[in-house]
């Protein structure tokens, strides 16, 4: 690796770290559609939203004009504990793939929670604490968000109550213990603790749960507990805002060496890491200053962006949350039980959904056995053990690099490596034992799930 001018890892100095989050909505011509009150069909004001979210986060949620939000000093100093995240030139992967492409990845797994989720968890916990609240509730699927929020709450002295999707509570007992180590209480969802949980269990006894169910439970508890608010780790505009730190740092690091990516790739569950990674680059594209290709990669078994409808839908199974206009598979959609790779939310960030609808964001889906094969290839080349979620982006980046090998193009590829896979060894085991299968829902299944979209004609809009 001698004589290469670009270092293996590009770090920013502390003084070069971004001091403000970037709000991509400020540069979007077609703004994402507002959240609607399910009772009236009218847009939710910041004031209405602050029954569920804390006030500053509600304000961030509805602000589509302010381009930059200064990051509070306390959050900046927390960021300094694990940021800047390295931007890595994947020299070893390039060599193994024999590609002329230049591959970079932004690695967000460098903290104990193991993913990018901590970037928003600390911001959300900070504003809750500042408002004088005593605790927060949330849902977690694979467990990374719950872990990140537990860490942030422990740091600030807030109570943290996590509803964890039951299948993953059972499959990932160590995730649960990490959260309890940070002082959070963790309940498998659906549970008998909430009205909505009891209702769901009565209808579907023995269900393994879903993110949509766990959200309903967490919201119910937050609204019934004085001094508590609900927080969400993805999908929302406020989360995209906090996650812009990923893209701002990546861009600053690339600018330092005069590198310009041709294509930017990220995995997409609810859209927060991808939205954050692309934000400053997409901003340049929207302002006509530069051009890039952006690719969202989702699992073939939960294909909201590639096969869902762009429509208003419920954000949760219990239908207690505001309605969001997004690419969705319907709030009842639950990926097949053999799905192991995370990214299982039925909808997608309204910001990314709007960009997709406007033709600014491409989307592809990949089957999970190919994702795990790419994960293994990457681990053997680069050393880092990737999270299955991140490996969707790895798969797409490798395919792009292989195309470059065939065409001789020297493209520069940037992808988001969102986290590490240490708690996903059950899924890796299935893959290694040859027991992992792919499940791709039929058009009929998707149409059926979409038939439960809310009937918007009932509102007098």
Ligand X SMILES: *Cc1c(COP(=O)(O)O)cnc(C)c1O
Shortest CB 298 distance to ligand X, Å: 9
DSSP letter at 458? G
Q: Does 234 bind ligand X (CB under 6 A)?
A: yes
Q: Does 273 bind ligand X (CB under 6 A)?
A: yes
**Which tokens go with 392?**
């969707």
Query: Beta partners for 68?
Result: 22
Q: Does 390 bind ligand X (CB under 6 A)?
A: yes
Shortest CB 155 distance to ligand X, Å: 19
Q: Does 272 bind ligand X (CB under 6 A)?
A: yes
Closer residue to ligand X (CB): 111 or 390: 390
Tell me the window of 245-253, 267-275, 357-365, 427-435 that interacts with ligand X (CB under 6 A). 267-275
Secondary element (H or E) of residue 230: strand 228-230
Q: Of 115, 191, 238, 391, which one interacts with ligand X (CB under 6 A)? A: 115
Write the interaction track for ligand X spanning residues 410-439; mark x where CB under 6 A is met and - where it is not: --------xx--------------------
Q: Of 135, 271, 367, 454, which one interacts with ligand X (CB under 6 A)? A: 271
- Per-residue CA distances from 226 to 152, 229, 231 (Å): 21, 9, 15
**Which tokens go with 376?**
């293994």
Q: Which of 212, 143, 208 is nearest to 172 (CA)?
A: 143
What is the number of other CB atoms lying within 10 angstroms of the CB of residue 13? 8
Residues ≥6 apart with Cβ < 8 Å to 147: 112, 113, 114, 117, 140, 175, 178, 179, 182
Q: Which of residues 179-198 bind ligand X (CB under 6 A)?
A: none
Closer residue to ligand X (CB): 133 or 352: 352
Query: Beta partners for 136?
Result: 160, 229
Closer residue to ligand X (CB): 208 or 270: 270
Cβ(142)–Cβ(117) below 8 Å? no
Q: Cβ-closest residue to ligand X? A: 419
Q: Does 389 bind ligand X (CB under 6 A)?
A: yes
Q: How many residues does the chain have?
A: 461
Cβ(108)–Cβ(417) below 8 Å? yes
Tell me the window of 306-314, 333-341, 361-369, 385-393 that interacts with ligand X (CB under 6 A). 385-393
How many binding residues for ligand X (CB under 6 A)? 19
Closer residue to ligand X (CB): 124 or 234: 234
DSSP per residue, 359-423: TSSEEEEE-HHHHHHHHHHHHHHH---B-HHHHHHHHHHHHHHHHHHHH----EEEEEE-BB-TT
Q: Does 387 bind ligand X (CB under 6 A)?
A: yes
Shortest CB 78 distance to ligand X, Å: 18
DSSP per residue, 178-223: HHHHTT-EEEEES-TTSHHHHHHHHHSTT----HHHHHHHHHHHHH
Q: Which of 177, 171, 203, 175 is nearest to 190 (CA)?
A: 203
What is the SS3 assignment for 109? coil
Closer residue to ligand X (CB): 152 or 268: 268
Shortest CB 304 distance to ligand X, Å: 10
Shortest CB 6 distance to ligand X, Å: 25
Q: Which of residues 152-181 bind ligand X (CB under 6 A)?
A: none
Cβ(25)–Cβ(69) below 8 Å? no
Closer residue to ligand X (CB): 272 or 317: 272
Q: Does 270 bind ligand X (CB under 6 A)?
A: yes
Write the interaction track for ligand X spanning residues 117-136; mark x where CB under 6 A is met and - where it is not: x-------------------
Q: Does 267 bind ligand X (CB under 6 A)?
A: yes
Q: Does 343 bind ligand X (CB under 6 A)?
A: yes
Q: Which residues make up the interface to ligand X (CB under 6 A)? A: 115, 117, 144-145, 234, 267-273, 342-343, 387, 389-390, 418-419
């Amino acid at each position: 690796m001698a004589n290469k001018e670009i270092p293996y890892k590009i770090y920013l100095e502390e003084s070069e770290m971004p001091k403000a989050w970037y709000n991509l909505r400020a540069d979007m011509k077609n703004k994402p559609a507002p959240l609607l009150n399910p009772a009236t069909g009218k847009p939710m004001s910041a004031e209405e939203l602050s029954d569920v979210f804390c006030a500053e986060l509600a304000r961030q949620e509805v602000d589509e004009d302010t381009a930059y939000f200064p990051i509070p000093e306390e959050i900046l100093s927390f960021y300094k504990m694990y940021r800047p995240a390295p931007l890595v030139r994947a020299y070893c992967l390039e060599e193994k793939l024999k590609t002329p492409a230049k591959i970079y990845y932004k690695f967000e797994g460098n903290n104990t929670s193991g993913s990018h989720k901590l970037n928003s968890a600390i911001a959300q916990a900070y504003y809750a604490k500042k408002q004088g609240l005593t605790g927060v509730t949330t849902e977690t699927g694979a467990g990374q968000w719950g872990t990140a929020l537990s860490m942030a709450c422990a740091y600030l002295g807030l109570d943290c109550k996590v509803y964890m999707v039951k299948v993953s509570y059972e499959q990932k007992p160590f995730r649960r213990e990490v959260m309890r180590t940070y002082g959070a209480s963790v309940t498998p969802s659906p549970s008998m603790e909430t009205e909505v949980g009891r209702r769901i269990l009565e209808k579907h006894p023995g269900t393994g749960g879903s993110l949509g169910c766990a959200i309903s439970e967490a919201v119910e508890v937050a609204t019934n507990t004085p001094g508590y608010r609900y927080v969400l780790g993805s999908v929302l505009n406020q989360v995209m805002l906090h996650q812009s730190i990923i893209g701002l740092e990546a861009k600053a690091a690339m600018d330092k060496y005069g590198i310009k990516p041709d294509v930017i790739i990220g995995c997409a569950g609810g859209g927060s890491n991808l939205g954050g990674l692309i934000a400053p680059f997409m901003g340049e594209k929207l302002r006509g200053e530069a051009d890039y290709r952006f690719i969202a990669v989702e699992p073939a078994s939960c294909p909201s962006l590639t096969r869902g409808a762009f429509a208003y839908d419920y954000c949760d199974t219990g239908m207690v949350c505001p309605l969001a206009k997004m690419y969705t598979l319907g709030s009842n959609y639950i990926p097949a039980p053999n799905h192991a790779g995370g990214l299982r939310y039925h909808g997608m960030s309204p910001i990314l959904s709007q960009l997709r609808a406007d033709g600014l964001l491409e989307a592809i889906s990949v089957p999970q056995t190919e994702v795990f094969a790419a994960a293994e290839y990457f681990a053997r080349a680069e050393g880092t053990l990737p999270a299955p979620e991140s490996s969707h982006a790895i798969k797409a980046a490798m395919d792009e690099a292989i195309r470059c090998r065939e065409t001789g193009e020297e493209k520069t590829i940037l992808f988001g490596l969102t986290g590490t896979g240490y708690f996903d060894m059950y899924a890796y085991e299935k893959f290694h034992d040859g027991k992992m299968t792919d499940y791709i829902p039929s058009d009929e299944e998707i149409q059926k799930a979409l038939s439960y979209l809310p009937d918007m004609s009932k509102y007098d809009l």
